[in-house]
Amino acid sequence: MTVLVAGTSEQAVAGRSLWRDARARLRRNRAAVASLVVLGAIALLALFAPYLSIHPYDKVYFDRIQVPPDFGAGHWFGTDGSGRDLFVRTLYGARVSLMVGLLATAVALAIGVVYGAVAGFVGGRIDELMMRAVDVMYSLPFMFFVIILMVMFGRNIYLIFVALGAVEWLTMARIVRGQTLSVRRKEYIEAARASGVPTPTIIRRHVIPNVLGPVIVYVTLTVPHVIIVESFISFLGLGVQEPLTSWGVLVSEGARVMEEAPWMLLFPAGFLAATLVALNFVGDGLRDALDPKQRP
Amino acid sequence: MFAYVVRRIAAAIPTLAVIVTIAFFMMRVAPGGPFDLDRALTPEIEARIKAAYRLDQPLHRQYLAYVGDVLSGDFGPSFKSRDFTVAELMAAGFPASLRIGAAAIVLAILVGMGLGTLAALRQNTSVDYATMGLAMTGITIPNFVMAPLLTLVFGVYLALLPVAGWNEGAIRNLVLPVIVLALPQIAYIARLTRGSMVEVLGANYIRTARAKGMPERIVVVRHALKAAALPVVSYLGPATAGILTGSVVVETIFDLPGMGRYFVQGALNRDYTLVMATVIVYAALIIVLNLIVDLLYGVLDPKVRHP
Amino acid sequence: MFRTALMAGALALAAAFSPTLAPAQSTLRVANMGEPESLDPHFVSGTWENRIIGDLFLGLTTEAADGSVIPGSAERWAISEDGRVYTFKIRSHKWSDGQPVTAADFEFALRRILAPETTAKYASLLYPIKNAEKFKKNETKELGVKTVGADVLEVTLENPTPYFLAQLTHYTAFPVPKHAVEKHGKDWVKPGNFVSNGAYVMTEWQPSSHVKTVKNPNFYDAANVKIEAVIWYPGEDRAAATKRFRAGEIEVATDFASDQIELLKKEIPKETRISPYLGIYYFAFNTAKKPFDDVRVRQALSMAIDREAITDKVLKTGEIAAYSFVPPGTDNYGEPAYVAFKGQGYDANKKKAIELLTAAGYGPGKPLKITIAYNTSENHKKICIALAAMWKELGVESELFNTEVKVHYNNLNEGAFDVGRAGWIADYNDPQNFLFLMQTSSGKLNYAKYSSPGFDKLMDEANRTVDLKKRAAIMREAEAISMRDLPNIPIYYYVSKNLVSPKVKGWIDNTKDIHRTRWLSLG
């Protein structure tokens, strides 16, 4: 009994110091800190979007269709091809895109990491079976998957997140499995096994923390991918419905008129790019901070 | 090793069968059919056409007939293109996609791993930030923006390269599409390489190698890069399958005769047989490439053995 | 220094590939806005296929440079008193392989497309021919088509059909080479087997890359055909096609994206050609569903649309606001029957619309809720956004419902919609080709499920009327009924949009947007 208590408290101490170290290291990484500030600012803008402009996001001004930025009229980013204020639409787009990116990635992360870690660690027949299942999922036509989901559950924007997450986890699972395969034969895992620690505990305590690095990098790649895929789904008429919008939709509308109405491309694309670059630096910072070998 | 490969290939057959089955029924559940046209057909003509494509039969009968056809090497007629069979369309589209895709992959691996390694070696310096920022353009600027932008600049304004067209695969026609296709992959590969490289460079054996006075170039190329390639390889398996089978955006904008548009156009047109064929080709590629990835694991990391 | 070397290298590379860049100037390159489904005239259905096939085959009648109907394979013809029997004298001319074109080829073609087992989508266009419908339904083996002599073809019709000669320019009525079809079966359209009787013959078809057609030396009027070859690129991305045009890679783009109009007007105003086109863009009400079965609701919603705002402010590409279902300028018609609210002023109409809605039981306490369905397209989206904004002024709450094209038309066919976008491009220049869409007998094509005995009766009567003036008056009366009931809301009359290089001579804008290459030349 005492041994067990002692063991747990030791674990807790170790855990806390690991995370505290990581936080300290992250704080020293200037690019990551600056990126966190940018992300926070964009999130706040998105949150308070309705209070930041005099224009509603769906109001059509027939006399101001596709006009360049006009401060007098309060169109700081100009208007779109339907005569709606682009500033407020960009912020509303941020809401949808950030939600899509985060939720879908969270779903992908949860499924992918667990699935990949189990397959890689357990190995053998089960691993093979699980990976063949991934092969099957990979090869299915993604579009029909989305179309069918829409039909079965109606058009609900939250379903897009789930649908995307349910597809994006596949690569995540493969990456985690690959890492796990190389981790599982390490001495400390053999030791844990030998001393009779149950498999789920080994996976949770030793395998997952060790594959965190590549996973975090991949997460920062998945978010942008999901945001772009969302625009493609919307383009097919399966995603977010007008008058709601997303960055992906705004950017694809802007790309059509990049010569005659560059503001329609530059503003949403700028927000999108800033978010993605910031995510990238935060991801790198996190990865470096969590790397156990990099203790100062 | 050989036995392992044989076993994996044998395992691929049930996998393919499952894929074909799920894809077939999944497609039919989706609303709208190949003959829901912007101009409706008269009932007697619609009935005739459906009968000609066996669409009037019960679904399980259609499935069995389709599987029978595929086993005898017949991928059926396209629902949309009347003058070409599905096999002919694939035979025309796949080489073009392969050519563009292979070039894009090679470019992406060279540039992506190069940038990633550079960034890892100069971790948290301005070189790191600059290289990764550059690599990021591929994902921060979506291909449906990049493709028109490049054609506008290099095709219309500077008139250096053709805007679009296949031109029997002439190199000057492929420069822009290959770049557009490679850019996001460069970003992914550079990010993955940097991440694992940083980790590997901190590992004991690398420290040992350095301590022994081994030249830095050899340490990086022969030891670190090899180990750092693991997550990249694992990513490249499915990614290669995706790139080799083409991209609808790139093919539509550059007017290229690849396979990528069959995935999306086929699905939008409910060209069932064409979609099935793309699924089969894609699945076969995935299976083969994933097998290669798993074998590469063995090469790159001696700890992974294939029993 | 390095830069110069790079430039030199690039130039050398460019030189190595330049032969393919600059083809002989007698080749016309066209971005055709679609990959052909087939080049067999019996199995096509799109305007992009028509552009190619109309160059390859010569129907009994054909289009002049301005789109008007002129003799084609038939040198001349006679029409019986009752307008039901047409006797065509086939011109002495040859297929591209040297075989003579005979009346039997035409009979063969018509029997082939109308045969029950032929899966031709638009065979129904030929139903004016006697027994054609029954023949297709396998109820008879008799067809009103007869080879009277090697070069004389007799066609009997169900009803006197004043647009029949115009209809013969349509690809469904093209001849096919009996000898080649019998020899190669389905593969007769493959390059190498392909035989045609028009100004061009197809020599190359690489799917999704291009179709190449070259001048047919056996064409009867080959002496006057100036362009040696045509390359048809699919060019489905309109913005990309516009760029190719600007870069000089193509001479004709058969469409452009309307959101680029301002740029085009600035950069290439002379090349940008916009011209009225026989087509109507409309929204269908689901009249089988409450509250759209109430004529007051339909009228109110139709009235409250500021069509000029849509055409002049949203689209900006010269479309004309529509107040009738048949576009003005349609042959055999005269002025169409307009809706009553035309010219009343938008504000007055809006006021009236609110009154009508109130009468139908909708108001501030009980807002009308509508779903507006459209298929994916930038223009449809913009128009639906505008509609929703205009209807909001009446207190109507609309939800936009975007689906991909197959789902959209499936929903329209099945009646699973409130208000849905649709469009119609005429097959032949006659009011009947628009108005029949609202006949009960049109089945699925009648998306609104409109059924008016008065309208149907007048349309049947018009079909039996030989006198063109009387026929026009009857159809105008029918249109007037439909414009009162408003099962469909006309929005605008289509325009054709082309980019045509100044090098291309002989291009004449016309309401059918048909420009056969035999009339063009490259200067």
pLDDT for C386 equals 94
Which of B135-149, C53-67, C305-319, C364-378 is predicted with the least confidence, judged by mean pLDDT?
Answer: B135-149
C371, pLDDT greater than 80: yes
C502 burial level (CB within 10 Å; 0-12, 13-18, 19+): exposed
Q: Which residues of A touch C314 (CB under 8 A)?
A: 62, 65, 81-82
Structure tokens at C341: 């609210």
Residues A39-55 pLDDT 10s:
999 999 988 878 888 88
Report pLDDT digits (tens) over B191-212: 888 888 887 887 777 788 888 8
Q: Is residue B65 part of a domain?
A: no
Which chain C residues are Cβ-neighbours of A243 within 8 angstroms? Answer: 385, 388, 400
Are C247 and B162 an interchain contact pair (Cβ–Cβ within 8 Å)?
yes
Partner B, chain C 143-202, Cβ-Cβ below 8 Å: 186, 189-190
Which residues on chain B are in Cβ contact (under 8 Å) with C404? 32, 268
If pLDDT is split at 50, 70 and 90, which confidence band does C354 have?
very high
Tell me the HSE value of B118 on the side-chain side, using a 13 A CA sphere: 18
How far apart (Å, rounded) are the C-alpha atoms in residues C57 and C115?
21
Confidence category of residue A292, pLDDT binned at 50, 70, 90: low
Find how far residue C486's CA is from the centre of its chain. Answer: 23
Comparing CA positions, the residue from C381, C257, C39 lying closest to residue A250 is: C381
Q: Is C508 helix (H, G, I), strand (E, B) or coil?
A: coil
Residue B126 within any structural domain of the chain? yes
**pLDDT on residue A122:** 83
Residue range of the domain that includes B134: 86-300
CA distance A132 to B9: 11
For residue B80, list chain C residues with Cβ-Cβ distance below 8 A. Answer: 37
Q: Smallest CA–CA separation between C336 and chain A, in Å? A: 29
Query: What integer is the mean pLDDT of B22-45?
Result: 83
What does the alpha-carbon distance between residue B61 and residue A171 come to, in Å, rounded to a whole number? 35
DSSP string, C292-346: TTSHHHHHHHHHT--HHIIIIIII-S--EE-SSSSPTT-TTT-S----TTTTS-H
Higher pLDDT, A68 or A284: A68
d(CA B275, CA B263): 6
Q: Please write the tens of the pLDDT for every residue from A112-136.
A: 988 988 888 888 888 888 888 887 8
Q: Is the confidence at residue A18, as pLDDT, over 70? A: no
Residue C423 contacts B, CB cutoff 8 Å: yes
Chain-chain contact of B40 with C444 (C-beta, under 8 angstroms): yes
Residue B25 lies in a domain: no
Asked if C198 and C458 count as a contact pair (C-beta separation under 8 A), the reply is no
Tokens of A241: 């419905």
Q: Who among B80, B82, B257 is closest to C206 (CB)?
A: B257
C243 to B252: CB separation less than 8 angstroms, yes or no:
no
Q: Could you read off the pLDDT of A208-251 as tens digits, one per residue?
A: 777 777 788 788 878 888 887 887 777 666 778 888 898 988 99
User: What's the pLDDT at B196?
Assistant: 83
Do the beta carbons of residue B233 and residue B265 sit within 8 Å? no
pLDDT at C19: 42
- Residue with the bigger pLDDT between A59 and C7: it is A59
Residue B287 inside a domain? The answer is: yes
CA dihedral sign of residues B103, B104, B109, B113: positive
Q: Between B136 and B112, where is the model more confident?
A: B112
Asked whether residue A28 carries a pLDDT value surpassing 90, the answer given is: no
pLDDT at B288 over 80: yes
**In this predicted model, which residue has the larger pLDDT, A8 or C136?**
C136
CA dihedral B153, B159, B160, B161 (to 10 degrees): 80
What's the rounded mean pLDDT across residues A66-86? 87
> Stretch B243-262: mean pLDDT, rounded?
86
Rounded to whole angstroms, the Cα distance separating C421 from C284 reads 6
Q: What is the pTM of this model?
A: 0.88
**What would the CATH number be for the domain defined by A17-289?**
1.10.3720.10
Which of A97-101, A248-252, B171-175, C60-64: highest mean pLDDT?
C60-64
Mean per-residue pLDDT, B257-265: 85
Count of Cβ atoms closer than 10 Å to residue A125 Cβ:
8
Chain A nearest CA to B30, separation (Å) = 5
pLDDT score for B61:
92
Q: Give the residue with greater pLDDT, A52 vs C340.
A: C340
Q: What is the pLDDT of residue A2?
A: 34
As a whole-number percent, the residues of chain C with pLDDT over 70 amount to: 95
* ipTM exceeds 0.90: no
Residue B33 has pLDDT above 90, yes or no: no
pLDDT bracket for residue C228 (50, 70, 90): very high
CB C221 within 8 A of CB C199: yes
d(C-alpha A216, C-alpha B146), whole Å: 27
CA-wise closest residue to B23 among B271, B285, B284, B279: B279
Residue B187 belongs to a domain: yes
Cα–Cα distance measured from residue C305 to residue A110, given in angstroms and rounded to the nearest whole number: 50
Position A151 confidence tier, pLDDT thresholds 50, 70, 90: low
pLDDT of residue C23: 46
Range in A106-115, B219-228, C26-35, C433-442 with the lowest mean pLDDT: B219-228
Taking 90 as the threshold, does the pLDDT of residue C284 lie above it?
Answer: yes
Other residues' Cβ atoms within 10 Å of the Cβ of residue A185: 12
Q: Which residue of chain B has the CA closest to C29?
A: B165
Q: What is the distance in angstroms between the Cα of B253 and the nearest Cα belonging to chain C? A: 6
Contact by Cβ (8 Å): C434, C326: yes
Cα separation, C368 vs C357, whole angstroms: 8
pLDDT band for A153, please (50, 70, 90 cuts). Answer: low
Burial of A111 (0-12, 13-18, 19+ CB in 10 A): middle
What is the end-to-end Cα distance of chain C in Å, rounded?
42
Q: How far apart are CA C110 and CA C171, in angstroms?
A: 11
Res C168 pLDDT > 60: yes
Residue C5 is predicted with a pLDDT of: 44
Q: Which residue has the tokens 């004298």?
A: C89
Tell me: pLDDT of A266 over 90.
yes
Task: Give me the number of domains chain B comprises.
Answer: 1
**Interior angle at CA C426, CA C423 and CA C431, nearest 5:** 105
Tell me phi and psi for residue C481, to 5 degrees: -60, -45
Q: Is some CB atom of chain B closer than 8 A to the CB atom of A148?
A: yes
- Smallest Cβ–Cβ distance between C17 and the set B41, B96, B171 belongs to B171
Q: Are C498 and C252 in contact (CB under 8 A)?
A: yes
HSE-up (13 A, CA, CB side) for residue C141: 0
User: For residues C481 and C489, what is the distance between their CA atoms, to the nearest angstrom?
Assistant: 13
CB contact (8 A) between residue B15 and residue A174: no
- B contact test, residue of C6, C7, C112, C208 with most B CBs within 10 A: C208
* pLDDT band for position A171 (cuts 50, 70, 90): confident
Average pLDDT over residues A8-15: 43
Contact C240 B253 (CB under 8 A): yes
* Residues constituting chain A: 296
**Pair C196, C177: CB distance under 8 Å:** yes
All residues of chain A having their beta carbon less than 8 Å from the beta carbon of residue B196 are: 213-214
| Tokens 């054996």, residue located | B205
Residue A293's pLDDT band (cuts 50, 70, 90): low
Would B229 be classed as within a structural domain? yes
Q: For residue C234, how many other CB atoms are within 10 A of its CB?
A: 22
- Contact indicator for C301, C387 with CB cutoff of 8 Å: no
Answer whether A214 sits within 8 Å of B290, measured CB to CB: no
**String of DSSP letters for C390-442:** HHHTTT-EEEEEEE-HHHHHHHHHHT--SEEEEEEE-SSSSTHHHHGGGSGGG
Three-state secondary structure call for residue C230: strand
- 3-state percent breakdown (helix, strand, coil) of chain C, nearest 5: 40, 20, 40
Mean pLDDT of C375-400: 92
Q: Per-residue DSSP letters for C47-98?
A: HHHHHHHHHH---SEEE-TTS-EEESSEEEEEE-TTS-EEEEEE-S-B-TTS
Q: What is the 3-state secondary structure (H, E, C) of chain B?
A: CHHHHHHHHHHHHHHHHHHHHHHHHHHHHCCCCCCCCCCCCCHHHHHHHHHHCCCCCCHHHHHHHHHHHHHCCCCCECCCCCCCEHHHHHHHHHHHHHHHHHHHHHHHHHHHHHHHHHHHHCCCCHHHHHHHHHHHHHHHCCHHHHHHHHHHHHHHHCCCCCCCCCHHHCHHHHHHHHHHHHHHHHHHHHHHHHHHHHHHHCCHHHHHHHHCCCCHHHHHHHHHHHHHHHHHHHHHHHHHHHHHCCCHHHHHHHCCCCCHHHHHHHHHHCCHHHHHHHHHHHHHHHHHHHHHHHHHHHHHCCCCCCC
Residue C294 pLDDT class (50, 70, 90 cuts): very high
Determine, yes or no, domain membership for B101. Answer: yes
List CB contacts (< 8 A) between A181 and chain B: 297, 301, 303-304
Selected residue with higher pLDDT from B148 and A159: B148
CB contact under 8 A, B31 and C410: yes
Arithmetic mean of pLDDT over chain C:
90
Neighbours of C199 (CB within 10 A): 26
* Angle at B179 (CA atoms; ends B176, B180), nearest 5 degrees: 85
Q: In whole angstroms, what is the distance from residue B109 CA to residue A139 CA?
A: 23
CATH at B245: 1.10.3720.10
User: Is the residue at B13 inside a domain?
Assistant: no
SS3 label, residue C451:
coil
CA C361 vs CA C103, C296, C356, C358, C368: distances in Å: 64, 10, 9, 5, 9
Q: What is the C-alpha to C-alpha distance for residues A207 and A189, in angstroms, rounded to an integer?
A: 8
Distance between CA atoms of C273 and C264, rounded to whole angstroms?
10
